[in-house]
Structure 1
Amino acid sequence: MWINKILLSSLLFFVCFPQINAQSTFTIKNENIEVSIDNQGNLQSLKNLKTGYNYASGKPIWRLYYDRPDWKDNEVIAANNQPQVKQQANQLLISYTGLKGRREKVNINLQLTILLENDQVRFAAELQNKEEHSIVRELQYPLVGNCQLPEDHQLLTTEYGGQLFPDVISLVKGANAAWPPYYPPAQDFLQRDVKYPRGPSANCYAFVGKTGGLYFGSHDPSFEDTGHGLRLYPSKKFVFDQLEAGMYKYPNCVSGQTWTSNVNVVSPYQGTWHETSRLYRTWANTWWKHREPPQWVKEMKGWQRIIMKHQYGEILFPYTDLSTRVKKVGESVGINTVFAHGWHKEGHDNDYPNYIADPTQGGEAVLKKQIAEFQKDGGAVIWYYSGRLIDKTSQYYRSGMGKKIAIKDNTGSKVNDAYRFRGPGTFTGSYDARTFTVADFRTPQWKEELKKMADQTIAYGAKSVFYDQMGMGDNPDWDLTGEFAMPNLRTVADKAEVMGLMHDYLDSKDKEIALGIEVLTDVTSMQSDYIHWYGPPACKAILNPGWEQKGEKPRTVFFMEWFRYTFPEIIVSDRDIRDDTDIERRVNHTVLRGLRNDVEIYRCRALIDETPHYQAYLAKVNQLKDRFKHLLLVGKYTDAIGFSHANPEVDASRFEKDNQAAIVFTQHHLSSANTVLTIPQGYSYETYGAVGTAELKAGKETVNITMGKHALVVVVVKKK
C-alpha cells in the first residue's frame, strides 16, 4: 500500500512539475570538435577530438549585467536560471524566458545558439529587453569556467602586436594586485581587464601549447569594443585558482530593443600557435583590403625620431639642423629618413590643431628648403601631426569650434587628456602640463582639419604625413539624449574609416606620399603605409633579469611575431631603444622580426652619435639589410614556417620574395652555438651574410652554422 502511495506521489510530481529537459546531456560533434551541454546549460565538454583533450569542466557559459537608473551592474548568472535546451542537427539552442537576477526578476529573454563549424565553435546570442527602465550593458558569453589547461599551455594575447605569458594564474593575480584599493569586487573574483582595441591589436587571444591550444576570437566586422575575459574564481574561500576564459560584449540594449550577435568563436585547435593566426586571418580576409605602400616605404630601414622644439619651449634641433647635422648622423648608420615632431612655432604637444612654421627660424621658406635638402639622393621626411588632440588653450578651441566637436563623457563633460613633459626642473612636468580635449573624428569639421594637415605636408614637400594616436581604440563619445547614456564603442572603426578617407585624398594628389599612424590595430593598419609601434616597456622587459651573467637565454613578454605572421603586409617599427644598453640583442631582434628602427635617442632629445655603441652596431646591421633588402625589407615574413634547423637555442625566422628566401639566425646567451639548416625541398644554397662572429659550411642538403654570442646570420636560398 505504501509503495502505491509513493508511486502516486511521484506521478503527481511529474504531472504538476514537468521536466523541461528530460534529456540530461546534449552533444554535437564533427571529426575535430565535440561540444556537450547539460540540461542546466553548463558546458560539460569542449573537446579537441584529435588530441582527446577536454577544456571544459561543467561550468556555466554566460553572465549578464544590466543597469537601472539607480543601480548599475546588476548581475544575472546562469546558475540562478533554468533554460530550455534543444538540439537541432549541428547546433544547440539554450533559451531563457525571463531572467532572475540577484535581487529581482526581469523581463529579459535570452536565446543562445551553439553552432559547430569545421574547426571552430560559433556562439550566437539573441537578447530581448522587455524590462522597462533598464539597459543591458554587458553579456559575457561564451565562458569556459574552471578551464582545464594542459601544463604546457601559455597565454598568447595580441596586445601591442603580441605578448606571451607562461603563467596565466600569476598574471591575473598580479593584475588584480596592481588595481587601486576598493576598485574591483576582489572578494568574489580576480580579473585581468583587457579590451580590444585598447591594447590588443586583434580581437582574439589563445592558450597555446606545443601541439595544440584553445583559441578565443570575436570575428566582429563592426570592430566594437570587446572584453577579453580572464577571471579567477575561488575553489574555496579566498583561494583563487579556477581560471575562467571568455569574451565580453556590450549590447547597450534598452527596453523595447532586440540585440543579436553571432561573432564569437572558440576553437580547440591542433598545431602550433600559428594556427591562431590562420583562424584570425581567414576571417580578416573577408574585409581586408590593404593598399600597396610606396616603394621607398618598403625599403625604409628606419628613421631618426626627433623633437625639434619641445613642449616647454626648448629648441633641441633648429630648422637648419635638418639638412646638416641630422642628415649626416642618419647617414652614418644607413638611415635616410627623419621623423620630425615639434616643428611648429609653439612646439611639440602645444596649440593643436594649429601648425604654424616658426617665424623666428625663417618660417615656411626655410622649412621647405630644409626638407628639400634632406630629401636629396632619396631621403625622406615624415611630418608629424596629432590626429585627435585639441589644445584647450588654442584659438581653435576657445573660438568655439574645438568645443563643438570635442567628445563628451557619460556626464556630458568634455573628455580631457594631458601630456607631461619635463625640462631640467620638476615644476612644469608636475603642475604645468598641457591639457587637451579629444576631437570626435567622425565630424566633417575634424576631417577638414586632417585634410589641412595633408595639404600642408604636400606644400612643404615632405614624403609622408603622420597622424599620431590614430591606430588605437579611443575614449567613447557619449550620447545623453535618452534615458541612459550611450557610448560609441566603434571608435577604432571610425578611425579606420577616416584614415581611409585621408589615404584616398593623398592618393588623389600623389601616390608617393605615404600615410603613417601610431599604434598597431588590425583595421586601422589596413589604411596606413607604416605603423609607429607603441607598447608599454613591459613588452620588452626581461622576465629573467641577469640572464647574461647567468648564461641563460633572455625571456621576454614581447611576442611581435604573432602580428607579423598574421599580417605580414604591415610595416611596423620597433620602439624604446633610446640609450646605449642591451644593443645587440634588441637590434638583432628587429632584423629577426622584420621591424624598422625607431631611433629615438634619449626620448627624441638627441641623435645616435651620442650613443656610440648603438651607432656603430646599427651601421653594421643596416649594411646587411641593404645587401638583402629585397628579402629582409620588401619580402614577406613567414616566421619559422618553410624551413627547419637543428638547435632550438638559436632563434630563426624566414622572409620570402619571388624565387628566393632569407633565413635569419641569431642567439644571445651562449659563447658559441651551432645549428644545421636543412635546405628546404626545391631550394639550393645561394649565399650568406653576417654581423659578428660566424662560420658557415654549405652542402647540397644542409648548411652548418657556427655563431658567437650576439651574432646575426642571414642565409639565402633559391628555388631550383
Structure 2
Amino acid sequence: MIKTLENSKMAVSFDPVTCSLISLKNKLSGDEYIKIIKKTEVFALSCLDGNNNLSVIKPSEVCRVNTAQNGSLSTMEIEFEVRDIKVKITLALEEDSDKVESYIEIVNNGGLKIAEVLFPRIRGIYLGDTWKDDTIILPHHAGEKTLNPAEEYLKPCFTGMWRAGVRKDEEIHYREINYCGLASMMWIYYYDDKNGFYLSSYDDDFLVTGLRAEVGGTDDHYMGFAIRKYQTINKGEKWRSKPYIISVNSEDWHYGAKEYRGWIEKQIRMPENPEYLDNEYVLMNMYHFRREGIVYTKFSEIPSLYDTAKEFGINHFFMAGWNRQGFDQSYPEYYPDLELGTSMDLYNGCQYINEQGGVPTFYINARIFDINSDYHETMGKRIALKLHDGRMVKEQYGEYKFTVSCPGDAEWQKYIIDTAYWMAKSYGAKGIYLDQLGSAEPYPCYDQNHTHEDSGSFNRGYMTVLKELNKKLSQLNKDCFLMIENCGDIYSSQIWGNLTWNGEVRDEFFNLYKYTFPEFVQVNMVNPKTTEDVAYRTAQFYKDMERALVLGSVLWVNPVFKFHEGDEELLDYLRKAINFRKEMNPYIISSKFVDTDGISSISGDIKVTRWIASGSELYIIGNNSGSGGYFEIPSKECCMKMSTITEGLIVPTYEKRGDTIRITAPPDRVSYVIIHKS
C-alpha cells in the first residue's frame, strides 16, 4: 500500500513494493514531478568484502512502514534489512513547510564493510508539460546553469569533460561531482517557471559528498537525483546521517541559494582578511618564469615586471613557475629553480615589491606529487591517497604525471603548512595561493596508516591546513592571506580569493556562488585565450571581461605575456577595464551583491546585477552584445549617476512609469549606475 506524507504545499509518496519514492507533488502548481515511474530503490550501499572488492546492494523488500502525526509534524519511518544490515529511513514534514527533512540510519550486523551510502535516490522527474524548459543549477565550481539538461547532458560538451563529465553505468547516464571542491556546495536545484525542486545535504561533518544528477537517455527524457556519502561503517558499527532536505516549491534558483545559505552560515564564519585587500581589484598572474623546460623570466627581472604592472594600475604580483624545474614539475619540491637565479635573487625581487607597497603572492600546489621526484618512492607513496583497492590516484597534466596526496594525513598537512609559512617568512610573501585545493576532485582514502579518522575526511583535512596556516601566517605578518583555485564554501570561509576560472564553454554561472556568498571574493581570468582563431579570441576576451566586471570580481591579467602583436585594441580595453573597476570599487566594497533580486524586469540580451547599501544602490550593466535593452526597478523618485567603461560619466536615459523606473542600457560594453534613494 502506497504511503504518503502531505500538507497544503506538497506531498511525497513511497511504494513499499518497489522500495521507491514514486510521487513528489507540488500542490501549489498542481504538478506531479515524478512523471515516469522507475524502480529506484530509495537507497543503495556500496560495500567491501574481505578482498576489498566493491559491490552495490539495494533493498528488495520493506520490513515495516509507519506514519505518524505529532502536532504539526508528520513523519514516515521505513525499515529494511538486507544482508544483515538494518536500515531505517525517516521522512518528516511540518504542516506549513515545503521541505521534507530525511535521515538514514544504518546498523551493520553483516559480513561486509559499508563504504558508501547513496541516499535519497529519486528518478523520473521533469517539471510541467515538457522537460525542454527545465533548468538545472549545479554547484560545479562557482556554478553551472543548464537549460534542458535531459537532452543537453548527452551532448559532447558534457560527455567529453575530463572532470565532472557525464558518464554511463549499466543503468543510466549521470554526472556525479564530489564536495568540497569540484562541487563547491552540497545542493542541487531544478526548476521551470512554475516549479522548483531542491535537494541538499546539511552535513556539518563535511564528509566527502557526491552530488549526482542523472539523465534517462535519448528516448527517455527525465532526470534523477541522489547524494552519496563516503562513510565507512564496519561490522558491528552504526551510523546516522545528518539531515537531507527535499523541497517542492514554485521558486527559481535563488530560493535554493537562500535556503542553503541559511544553513551553512551557522556552520562557518565569514572570512576576516587584512583591510587593505578591499582595494586589490586586479592582479598580475605571472606563470612565465620557467615552464615546460623553457626559462622565460629570471628572478632579477621581477622589479622591472612589477614596474610594468604598476603602469597598468596593478599592485598585486602573483608568481608561479618559480620552483624547481618550473610550473607543474617536481611538486612538492618548492625550492627556487637554479636556472632562474639564487634564493637571494628571489628574496630581493619580493623585497622590491613590498618596498613599493605591492603584494607578492606565491603559488604552491597543495594536492599532487610528481611521480618523477626522487622522493616519490618514499614520501610520495607514503602520503598518497589510496582507493578502496589500494590503488593510488594518478593524474596527468601535459606530459607530467602525479599522484594525489591525502590531505587527511598529518604528514602532508604539515608539509603544506610549513612550505607556505617558509615562503612568507623567508621571502616576504604576503599571499599564498594553494592550487587545486578548491578545484580538483576530492576522494575517499582507505590507507589505514594515515592519521585521518575516516575514509571521507578529505575536506576536514584541508580545513585543518587552512585554519592552522591562517593562524601561523597572521602571527608572522598581519598582512598575509590565502588564495585557492576555484572555491568551496568551507574553504572560502578561511581565505581571501577564489580563482574561479573560465574553462571550456559549459554553462558556467558564477552568479550562483556570488549570490550565495557575496562576502567571498571571486578572482576571474580575463586574459585573451591562447588560440589562432583571432575572432573567437577577441570575442571571448570581451565576454569574459563583461562577466568579471558585472560580478564585481578581481581581474586576473598579464599584460606582458598574454597580449601579443595585433592585440593593441584589447590591451587598450584592458587599461580602461582596470580603471573602470577601480572607479566602481568604493561602491562594490560598501554594498551587498543581490544578483537580480529587486529588479522587476530585464529586456534584451543585457546583463544587470544589483548591489544594495544604506541609502543607495549600484547596478552594473553588461551590454557586450551591443543589442541594447533596459531594466526596470520599483522606485518613484531617485537621483542617478551613470558611468561607462569608455566614455566615463554620462547623462542617464530613464523613464518614470508609475511606481517603476525604466533605465536604458548605454551602448557601451559595460556601465554602471548609482541610484540614491530619496
TM (normalized to structure 1)?
0.81
Alignment map for 1:105-254 (pairs within 5 Å): 106-117=83-94, 118-132=97-111, 134-150=112-128, 151=130, 152-174=133-155, 178=160, 186=169, 188-197=171-180, 199-233=182-216, 239-254=219-234
**Matching residue of 2:26:** 48
Q: 1:655 aligns with which of 598, 601, 611?
A: 611
Once the two structures are TM-superposed, the CA of residue 312 in structure 1 deviates from its matched residue by 3.1
| 8 Å CA contact retained: 1:391, 1:437 | no
**Matching residue of 1:28:** 5
Once the two structures are overlaid, the 10-residue window that deviates more, 41-50 or 612-621, is 41-50
Once the two structures are TM-superposed, the CA of residue 56 in structure 1 deviates from its matched residue by 3.1
Q: 2:316 aligns with which of 320, 333, 337?
A: 337
Alignment map for 1:279-298 (pairs within 5 Å): 279-298=259-278
The CA distance in 2 between the partners of 1:281 and 1:308, in whole Å, is 39
The CA distance in 2 between the partners of 1:229 and 1:584, in whole Å, is 34
Gapped regions of structure 2 (runs ≥ 5) = 530-536
Question: Is 1:81 matched with 2:61?
Answer: yes
Q: 2:643 aligns with which of 689, 694, 716?
A: 689
> Judging changes above 3 Å, is the alpha-carbon distance between structure 1 residues 533 and 680 closer, same or farther for their aligned structure 2 residues?
same
Question: Is 1:568 matched with 2:518?
Answer: yes
> Judging changes above 3 Å, is the alpha-carbon distance between structure 1 residues 454 and 487 closer, same or farther for their aligned structure 2 residues?
same
Once the two structures are TM-superposed, the CA of residue 640 in structure 1 deviates from its matched residue by 0.8
| 8 Å CA contact retained: 1:625, 1:633 | no
The CA distance in 2 between the partners of 1:495 and 1:222, in whole Å, is 13
**Matching residue of 2:433:** 466
Gapped regions of structure 1 (runs ≥ 5) = 1-23, 100-105, 421-428, 540-556
| 8 Å CA contact retained: 2:84, 2:108 | yes
Once the two structures are overlaid, the 10-residue window that deviates more, 658-667 or 40-49, is 40-49
| 8 Å CA contact retained: 1:392, 1:437 | no
Q: Deviations over 1:431-476 (max 9, x none)?
A: xx35455254531564254234223223322321222222245343
Question: Is 1:624 matched with 2:618?
Answer: no
Q: 1:520 aligns with which of 476, 487, 501?
A: 487
Q: Deviations over 1:357-377 (max 9, x none)?
A: 356655233333322333455
Q: Deviations over 1:318-353 (max 9, x none)?
A: 22332213431x234332222111123532233333
The CA distance in 2 between the partners of 1:679 and 1:349, in whole Å, is 52
Q: Deviations over 1:188-214 (max 9, x none)?
A: 333233333352211111102234310
Q: 1:637 aligns with which of 593, 598, 602?
A: 593
Once the two structures are TM-superposed, the CA of residue 633 in structure 1 deviates from its matched residue by 4.7
Q: 1:370 aligns with which of 349, 352, 357?
A: 349
Q: Deviations over 1:201-231 (max 9, x none)?
A: 1111110223431011111112222232233
Question: Is 1:407 matched with 2:366?
Answer: no
| 8 Å CA contact retained: 1:440, 1:477 | no
Once the two structures are overlaid, the 10-residue window that deviates more, 575-584 or 461-470, is 575-584
Query: Which secondary structure does the structure 1 equivalent of 2:293 belong to?
Result: coil
Q: Deviations over 1:489-533 (max 9, x none)?
A: 221222122111111111122221111111211111111111122
Structure 1 vs Structure 2 CA RMSD: 3.3
Once the two structures are overlaid, the 10-residue window that deviates more, 516-525 or 460-469, is 460-469
**Matching residue of 2:533:** none
Query: Which secondary structure does the structure 2 equivalent of 1:630 belong to?
Result: helix
| 8 Å CA contact retained: 2:62, 2:80 | no
Q: Deviations over 1:236-255 (max 9, x none)?
A: xx943343222233443232
Once the two structures are overlaid, the 10-residue window that deviates more, 564-573 or 251-260, is 251-260
| 8 Å CA contact retained: 2:216, 2:223 | yes
The CA distance in 1 between the partners of 2:124 and 2:89, in whole Å, is 21
Structure 2 residue identity aligned to 1:513: C
Q: Deviations over 1:104-153 (max 9, x none)?
A: xx222221111114331112111222222x13344332222211422432
The CA distance in 2 between the partners of 1:607 and 1:373, in whole Å, is 25
The CA distance in 2 between the partners of 1:534 and 1:647, in whole Å, is 28
Question: Is 1:589 matched with 2:547?
Answer: yes
Alignment map for 1:550-561 (pairs within 5 Å): 557-561=507-511
**Matching residue of 2:299:** 319
Once the two structures are overlaid, the 10-residue window that deviates more, 687-696 or 160-169, is 687-696
Query: Which secondary structure does the structure 2 equivalent of 1:259 belong to?
Result: strand
Question: Is 1:263 matched with 2:243?
Answer: yes
The CA distance in 1 between the partners of 2:619 and 2:504, in whole Å, is 28
The CA distance in 2 between the partners of 1:508 and 1:75, in whole Å, is 49
**Matching residue of 1:423:** none
The CA distance in 2 between the partners of 1:280 and 1:645, in whole Å, is 25
> Judging changes above 3 Å, is the alpha-carbon distance between structure 1 residues 362 and 230 closer, same or farther for their aligned structure 2 residues?
closer
Query: Which secondary structure does the structure 2 equivalent of 1:347 belong to?
Result: coil
Structure 1 residue identity aligned to 2:127: L
**Matching residue of 2:447:** 479
TM (normalized to structure 2)?
0.86
The CA distance in 1 between the partners of 2:638 and 2:188, in whole Å, is 38
| 8 Å CA contact retained: 2:370, 2:376 | yes
Question: What is the number of equivalent residue pairs in this alignment?
Answer: 648
Query: Which secondary structure does the structure 1 equivalent of 2:420 belong to?
Result: helix
The CA distance in 2 between the partners of 1:239 and 1:705, in whole Å, is 45
Once the two structures are TM-superposed, the CA of residue 95 in structure 1 deviates from its matched residue by 3.4
Percent of aligned pairs with the same residue? 19
The CA distance in 2 between the partners of 1:455 and 1:608, in whole Å, is 36
| 8 Å CA contact retained: 1:85, 1:94 | yes
> Judging changes above 3 Å, is the alpha-carbon distance between structure 1 residues 147 and 674 closer, same or farther for their aligned structure 2 residues?
closer
**Matching residue of 1:16:** none
| 8 Å CA contact retained: 2:602, 2:631 | yes
Once the two structures are TM-superposed, the CA of residue 157 in structure 1 deviates from its matched residue by 0.6
The CA distance in 2 between the partners of 1:514 and 1:71, in whole Å, is 42
Query: Which secondary structure does the structure 2 equivalent of 1:713 belong to?
Result: strand
Alignment map for 1:5-20 (pairs within 5 Å): none
Structure 2 residue identity aligned to 1:379: G
Structure 1 residue identity aligned to 2:544: R
| 8 Å CA contact retained: 1:695, 1:705 | no
Q: Deviations over 1:72-122 (max 9, x none)?
A: 5544445x31342111113443434533xxxxxx22222111111433111
Q: 1:678 aligns with which of 633, 644, 662?
A: 633
> Judging changes above 3 Å, is the alpha-carbon distance between structure 1 residues 708 and 32 closer, same or farther for their aligned structure 2 residues?
same
Structure 1 residue identity aligned to 2:471: D
Query: Which secondary structure does the structure 1 equivalent of 2:437 belong to?
Result: coil
> Judging changes above 3 Å, is the alpha-carbon distance between structure 1 residues 387 and 73 closer, same or farther for their aligned structure 2 residues?
closer
Once the two structures are TM-superposed, the CA of residue 641 in structure 1 deviates from its matched residue by 1.4
Question: Is 1:498 matched with 2:465?
Answer: yes
| 8 Å CA contact retained: 2:430, 2:481 | yes
| 8 Å CA contact retained: 2:284, 2:316 | yes
Structure 2 residue identity aligned to 1:716: I
> Judging changes above 3 Å, is the alpha-carbon distance between structure 1 residues 86 and 124 closer, same or farther for their aligned structure 2 residues?
same
